[in-house]
């Protein structure tokens, strides 16, 4: 199963490109334009796919491979689409023996994706994490900065996830 | 780097207890090399790469008695008064050995089966430093071998991450095709997003191959296919060799850089077993005949100007990718390589009563981009490919060795008739400014209707990246100033085109060669190690080899080539005729890169 194509594409006339163009043109003659342009693009799009690299290259004159070298060096950048919320299911030793696999399976089942993937509504990206440092709360997972503890009963997971969905619908942030 | 010899610009330093005067501004590595000391280095490439990555040029250094911390890399350490450098201490020797072993720990050490066996700079250093084993065992990087392009193979198992190719592509061409990607142990030099070299902004000039100390970047080889064709009794295998090849091929056999070996090269091609041995020089004369007339027609009939040469496939690809608005300015002439192929399989086949389907055309080129050019869809006539296989100078050297030919003792031979005659104008095609000079020699004679005695155009000669000149010639009887520009590297071509587009530069004719100095320094030429390049510019000697061969020719203007006159009379009719257009001219198209559809499947 691979990430569906449609959620990874950015329309050519996406207004965020105009914003990025203006930003690059203001910074173009400064040293290190690659770094700040990529940071701005990461902020605007949430990820840096090939077409964003091509756009920055065209506007800044920095070769695509050089931009990609910067993107893949720093962990602040990602070439894959990331969701609004990052789910980290802890697979560390303590969580694992207390049933972390069941937690992860449930999260994946509810969201209908695989590890590392983002949901089609771009709300969640699911990550299998190493120890998140809450062994006493095992099995645990984090959504963004909030820790969910003692998830032995995996049936509470749909409810936890639903909260984020409703919240974002109310904020008008979800599509 | 300053090369000033005034004493005020000298500093005194001590290397291994010997006092030397060094140029202020030089690095310790440069000063030591000039003074005859040999410091090992691998990532350093003069004027291209100074990044202190390989840590092989380290030394113990103190300044006026104060020791510098650690072992500084001498490739980035500037000389200063009172500096004391020691390269032959146990600490330094141990460090160099250790660093070589660390490089080898992540290197594919199948040296006997490697194309760089014998020319590998890493191998040479390991031999010099007596590396008999590697103390470090551990994981190796996953291997990527990208062999999808027709020209260049990238093999990460041979890569030592020295960055010479990255810098060469950026500094020479400003294309930045290759970069360090990922981080730490996963670092790999390559294009973005794991794209193949086939589908990115590469012009296949091969300057990265010339820069690579190992076989991490190498040409795609077609030797087996060519041998198979030679051994096939049904095939007639016809070979041609480009002008610049004869200025470098001798280097494959230990001769000094730039030794002209035209006669031996021709003899070797015959010994190898090619059925007919022609000379690309003939096609260079043919190209000039077509191109000079095309230029005159554009000038006289108000065609698109400036006209730009089209014999360098790296340049053509660059224009298609980055400056498609200039495609109407490109001469429609095919390159000499392909003109030769088309004429072999038509005119020559007809005269000899050969079936063109059974002819295999092989070209020996100083170039890696010629391989991709040969594979371009449109370069065929009535479904018959112009060129079947294009080999580099290095591959030709390999073939000669495989055939057991003692190259250095060959008697000179002449190419076969009827496509082997050539003039001095053709020979100089191999160096920057040569095509321009050859075209001017013909254009001037055609416009004046005379055989002009002054035909050497010094202003377009030399290795500078951009040269401008003007000549006054009678156009429709009116003396007219023709302005010309000669440039080499696509970086310089880009600058010239930007200036022309902005109206800052006016001219009638532009010659562009993708490689610095033209074909003499093409990506298919014999390797010159980074150590040799510290004291020698291989382009000088190779350029001189070509100009001296020009001077030795009786005929030095393309349109005076007797075999060309016969071809025009018996087959083409006249330059730029309809038949000439069918066989010798082509078209261009904008060429996207990094397009999703063409993404390589690993």
Residue B542: is its pLDDT beyond 70? yes
CA pair distance B314, B532, nearest whole angstrom = 26
User: May I ask the CATH class of domain B7-88?
Assistant: alpha beta
Residues A92 and A145 in one domain: yes
Last residue of one domain, picked from the residues A73, A96, A126: A73
**For residue B306, is the peptide bond before it cis, meaning its omega torsion is within 30 degrees of 0?**
yes
pLDDT number for residue A175: 35
Question: What is B108-174 written as a DSSP string?
Answer: ---GGGSTTTTT-HHHHHHHHTT----------PPP-EE--SSSEEEEGGG-----HHHHHIIIIIS
On whether residue A80 sits in a domain, the answer given is: no
Spell out the domain ranges in chain B: 7-88, 99-219, 223-584
Tens digit of each residue's pLDDT (9 = 90 or more) over B70-101: 999 999 999 999 999 999 999 999 999 999 99
Asked if the C-beta of B183 comes within 8 angstroms of chain A's C-beta atoms, the answer is yes
Residue A79: CB atoms within 10 A of its CB come to: 15
Record: contact B182-A79, CB cut-off 8 A: no
Judge if A61 and A101 occupy the same domain.
Answer: no
Strands, E assignment, B6-59: 10-15, 18-23
Q: Is residue A79 part of a domain?
A: no
The answer to whether residues A66 and A105 belong to one domain is no
pLDDT of residue B601: 44
B192 touches chain A (CB under 8 A): yes
- Band (pLDDT 50/70/90 cuts) for residue A173 is very low
Decide if B363 contacts B341 (C-beta within 8 A): yes
pLDDT of residue B5 exceeding 90: no
Position B476 scores a pLDDT of 86
Write out pLDDT tens, residues B291-308. Answer: 999 999 999 999 999 999
| Cβ distance of A65 and B596 shorter than 8 Å | no
Position B461 scores a pLDDT of 96
Asked which of A65-69, B228-232, B387-391, B594-598 is least confident by mean pLDDT, the reply is B594-598
Residues B220/B151, Cβ–Cβ less than 8 Å: yes
Surface-to-core class of residue B538, CB atoms within 10 Å of its CB (0-12 exposed, 13-18 middle, 19+ buried): buried
Active site residue B162: no
The single residue listed with the structure tokens 């342009």 is A37
Active-site residue, B294 included? yes
Q: What is the mean pLDDT of residues B393-405?
A: 98
pLDDT in tens, B228-247: 999 999 999 999 999 999 99
Q: What is the pLDDT of residue B448?
A: 92
Structure confidence at residue B2 (pLDDT):
46
Instruction: Give yes or no: residues A68 and A89 share one domain.
Output: no
Q: Which of A73, A98, A114 is the last residue of a domain?
A: A73
Query: Ramachandran region of residue B254, left (φ > 0), alpha (ψ -120 to 50) or beta?
Result: left
What's the domain range around A53? 5-73
Q: Which tokens in the block code for residue B292?
A: 């000079």
Average pLDDT for B248-258? 97
Compute φ and ψ for B524, nearest 5 degrees: -105, 0
In a domain? residue A55:
yes
CB contact B176 to A (< 8 Å) = yes
> What's chain B's average pLDDT?
95
- Reported as a single tens digit per residue, the pLDDT across B352-377 is 999 999 999 999 999 999 999 999 99
pLDDT at residue number A9? 76
Average pLDDT score over chain A:
89
Query: How do beta strands B307-308 and B509-513 pair?
Result: parallel
H helix or E strand, kind and range, residue B200 = none
Q: What's the token pair of residue B369?
A: 């981009």
- Residue A153: CATH number of its domain: 3.40.30.10
Find, among B288, B281, B284, the residue nearest to B265 by Cα.
B281
Whether residue B457 is predicted with pLDDT greater than 50 in this model: the reply is yes
With residues binned 3-state (H G I as helix, E B as strand, rest as coil), the percentages for chain B, rounded to 5, are: 40, 15, 40
Tens of pLDDT, residue by residue over A65-122, are: 999 999 999 878 989 888 889 899 999 999 999 999 999 999 999 999 999 888 988 8
Number of residues that this document lists for chain B: 602
Same domain, A56 and A89: no
- From residue B27, alpha-carbon distances to A139, B5, B11, B24, B192 in Å are 59, 15, 12, 8, 34
Would you call B170 and A63 a contact, using CB atoms and an 8 Å cutoff?
yes
Alpha-carbon distance A92 to B356, whole Å?
A: 70
Cα-Cα-Cα-Cα dihedral sign, residues B458, B464, B470, B475: positive
Predicted confidence at residue A4, as pLDDT, reads: 58
Look at residue B588 in the predicted model and tell me its pLDDT: 98
Return d(Cα A130, Cα A83) in angstroms, integer: 20
Q: In this structure, is residue A46 part of a structural domain?
A: yes
Angle, CA of B236, B332 and B580, to the nearest 5°: 55
pLDDT tens for B160-213 read 999 999 999 999 999 999 999 999 999 999 999 999 999 999 999 999 999 999
Tell whether B191 lies on the interface with A, counting CB pairs under 8 A.
yes
Distance CA B579, CA A123 (A): 65
Q: Does residue B469 carry a pLDDT above 80?
A: yes
In order, the DSSP letters of A42-80 are: HHHHSS--HHHHHHHHHHH---HHHHHHHHHH-TT--SS
> Which residues from B are below 8 Å from A62, CB to CB?
176
Contact (Cβ atoms closer than 8 angstroms) between residue B31 and residue B20: yes
What CATH number is given for B99-219 in this structure? 3.30.70.20
Average pLDDT over residues B403-432: 96
Give the pair of three-digit tokens for residue B492. Answer: 């310089």
* A64/B596 touch (CB, cutoff 8 Å), yes or no: no
Interchain contact, A72 vs B181, CB within 8 Å:
yes
How far is the C-alpha of A165 from the C-alpha of B587, rounded, in Å? 57
Domain spanning B223-584, CATH architecture:
3-Layer(aba) Sandwich (3.40)
Is the pLDDT at B114 greater than 60? The verdict is yes
What tens digit of pLDDT does each residue of B310-353 get? Answer: 999 999 999 999 999 999 999 999 999 999 999 999 999 999 99
Render pLDDT for B267-299 as a digit per residue (tens, 0 to 9).
Answer: 999 999 999 999 999 999 999 999 999 999 999
Do A121 and A165 fall into the same domain?
Answer: yes
A166 and A110 housed in the same domain: yes
Residue A31 banded pLDDT, cuts 50, 70, 90: confident
List of chain B residues whose C-beta atoms are within 8 Å of the C-beta of residue A66: 170, 176, 179
Q: Rounded to the nearest 10 degrees, how much is the dihedral formed by the CA atoms of B382, B435, B168, B49?
A: 160
Q: Is the dihedral of CA B189, B192, B198, B202 positive or negative?
A: negative
Check residue B6 and give its pLDDT. Answer: 53
pLDDT in tens, B486-533: 999 999 999 999 999 999 999 999 999 999 999 999 999 999 999 999
A11 with A44, same domain: the answer is yes
Interchain CB distance below 8 Å, A63 and B201: yes
Considering only CB atoms, which chain B residues are within 8 Å of A8? none
B4 band by pLDDT with thresholds 50, 70 and 90: very low
**Catalytic residue, candidates B46, B158, B345, B370:** B370
> Which residues between 536 and 595 in chain B have a beta carbon less than 8 angstroms from any beta carbon of chain A?
594
Q: pTM for this one?
A: 0.90
Residues A156 and A94 in one domain: yes
Residue among A62, A68, A73 whose CB faces B193 most closely = A68
A134 in a domain, yes or no?
yes
Place of tokens 């974002």: A168
Q: A120 with A53, same domain?
A: no
Order of all β-strands in the sheet with B389-392: B276-279, B236-241, B359-365, B389-392
What is the number of domains present in chain A? 2
């Amino acid at each position: 199963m691979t990430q569906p194509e449609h959620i990874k594409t950015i329309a050519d006339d996406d207004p965020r490109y105009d914003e990025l163009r203006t930003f690059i043109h203001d910074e173009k003659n400064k040293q290190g334009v690659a770094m700040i342009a990529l940071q701005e693009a990461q902020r605007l799009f949430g990820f840096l796919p090939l077409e964003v690299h091509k756009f920055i290259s065209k506007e800044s004159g920095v070769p695509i491979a050089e931009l990609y070298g910067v993107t893949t060096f720093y962990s602040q950048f990602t070439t894959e689409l990331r969701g609004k919320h990052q789910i980290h299911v802890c697979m560390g030793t303590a969580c694992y023996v207390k049933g972390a696999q069941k937690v992860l399976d449930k999260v994946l089942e509810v969201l209908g994706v695989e590890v590392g993937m983002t949901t089609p509504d771009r709300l969640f990206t699911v990550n299998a994490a190493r120890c998140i440092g809450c062994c006493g709360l095992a099995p645990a997972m984090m959504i963004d900065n909030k820790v969910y503890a003692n998830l032995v009963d995996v049936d509470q997971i749909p409810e936890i996830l639903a909260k984020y969905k409703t919240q974002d619908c109310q904020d008008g942030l979800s599509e | 780097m300053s090369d000033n010899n005034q004493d005020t610009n000298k500093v005194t330093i001590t290397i291994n207890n010997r006092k030397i005067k060094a140029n202020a501004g030089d690095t310790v590595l440069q000063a030591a090399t000039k003074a005859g000391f040999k410091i090992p280095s691998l990532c350093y490439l003069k004027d291209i790469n100074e990044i202190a990555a390989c840590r092989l040029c380290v030394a113990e250094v103190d300044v006026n008695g104060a020791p510098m911390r650690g072992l500084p890399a001498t490739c980035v350490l500037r000389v200063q008064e009172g500096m004391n450098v020691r390269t032959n201490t146990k600490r330094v020797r141990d460090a160099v050995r250790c660093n070589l072993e660390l490089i080898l720990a992540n290197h594919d050490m199948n040296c006997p089966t490697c194309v760089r066996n014998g020319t590998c700079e890493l191998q040479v250093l390991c031999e010099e430093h007596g590396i008999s084993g590697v103390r470090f065992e551990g994981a190796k990087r996953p291997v990527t071998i990208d062999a999808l392009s027709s020209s260049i193979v990238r093999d990460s198992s041979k890569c030592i991450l020295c960055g010479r190719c990255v810098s060469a592509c950026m500094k020479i061409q400003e294309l930045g095709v290759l970069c360090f990607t990922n981080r730490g142990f996963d670092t790999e030099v390559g294009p973005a997003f794991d794209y193949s070299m086939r589908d990115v902004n590469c012009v296949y000039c091969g300057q990265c191959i010339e820069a690579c100390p190992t076989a991490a970047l190498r040409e795609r080889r077609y030797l087996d296919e060519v041998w198979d064709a030679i051994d096939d009794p049904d095939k007639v295998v016809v070979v041609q060799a480009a002008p610049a090849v004869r200025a470098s091929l001798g280097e494959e056999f230990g001769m000094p850089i730039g030794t002209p070996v035209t006669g031996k090269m021709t003899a070797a091609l015959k010994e190898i077993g090619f059925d007919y041995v022609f000379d690309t020089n003939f096609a260079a004369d043919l190209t000039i005949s077509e191109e000079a007339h095309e230029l005159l027609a554009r000038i006289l009939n108000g065609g698109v100007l400036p006209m730009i040469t089209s014999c360098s496939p790296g340049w053509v690809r660059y224009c298609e990718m980055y400056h498609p608005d200039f495609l109407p300015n490109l001469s429609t002439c095919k390159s000499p390589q392909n003109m030769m192929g088309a004429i072999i399989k038509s005119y020559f086949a007809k005269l000899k009563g050969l079936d063109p389907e059974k002819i295999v055309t092989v070209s020996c080129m100083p170039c890696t981009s010629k391989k991709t050019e040969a594979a371009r869809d449109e370069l065929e006539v009535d479904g018959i490919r112009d060129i079947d296989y294009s080999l580099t100078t290095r591959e030709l050297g390999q073939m000669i060795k495989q055939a057991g030919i003692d190259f250095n003792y060959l008697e000179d031979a002449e190419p076969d008739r009827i496509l082997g005659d050539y003039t001095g104008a053709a020979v100089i095609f191999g160096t920057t400014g040569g095509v321009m000079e050859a075209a001017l020699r013909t254009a001037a004679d055609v416009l004046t209707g005379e055989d002009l005695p002054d035909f050497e155009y010094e202003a377009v000669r030399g290795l500078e990246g951009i040269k401008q000149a003007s000549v006054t010639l009678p156009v429709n009887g009116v003396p007219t100033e023709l302005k010309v520009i000669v440039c080499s590297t696509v970086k310089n071509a880009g600058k010239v085109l930007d200036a022309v587009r902005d109206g800052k530069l006016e001219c009638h004719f532009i010659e562009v060669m993708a490689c610095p100095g033209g074909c003499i320094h093409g990506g298919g030429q014999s390797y010159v190690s980074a150590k040799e390049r510290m004291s020698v510019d291989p382009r000088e000697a190779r350029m001189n080899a070509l100009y001296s061969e020009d001077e030795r020719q009786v005929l030095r203007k393309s349109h005076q080539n007797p075999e060309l006159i016969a071809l025009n009379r018996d087959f083409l009719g006249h330059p730029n005729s309809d038949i000439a257009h069918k066989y010798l001219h082509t078209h261009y198209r904008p060429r996207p890169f990094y397009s999703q559809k063409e993404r390589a499947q690993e």
